[in-house]
Amino acid sequence: MIRGIRGATTVTENEGKEMLKATKVLVETIVKNNHVSPEQISYIWMTASPDLDATFPAGALRMIDGFNRVPVMCAQEIPVDGSLNKCIRVMVIVETERSQKEITHVYLNEARILRPDLVEERF
């Protein structure tokens, strides 16, 4: 079965190193909490809010062992008035036997406000 795993995080500044670190933590947490390996990932789609342009968040995957062949694409998030600033969002498309209910979506830092219904206290 193909499933999508959502996640988001925020940074405090439009700074490349901080963006890469936050994205790396986000992806690693998604992978760990959903017990998936890079081989199970079809692709990852990432967006950044319009105020983040210091680097491509996708570069963080190159810092994670085994992710050098996972296809990844970045885009700019739609600039909706009142949306969360300094936010990086991801959609990880995986092959898994887990049901939708068993999928753990990950929202870190200020991004926790995006989906409070999906945030678990273990993060």
Could you give the residue numbers annotated as active site? 6, 62, 74, 77, 89, 107, 115
- Please give the structure tokens belonging to residue 91: 């959609």
Q: Are residues 44 and 91 in contact, defined by beta-carbon separation less than 8 angstroms?
A: yes
Distance (Å, rounded) from C-alpha 5 to C-alpha 92?
5
Q: Which residue has the tokens 């062949």?
A: 69
Distance (Å, rounded) from C-alpha 34 to C-alpha 69?
20
Distance (Å, rounded) from C-alpha 3 to C-alpha 78?
23
Q: Cα separations (Å) of 7 from 33, 36, 67, 92? A: 12, 15, 17, 8
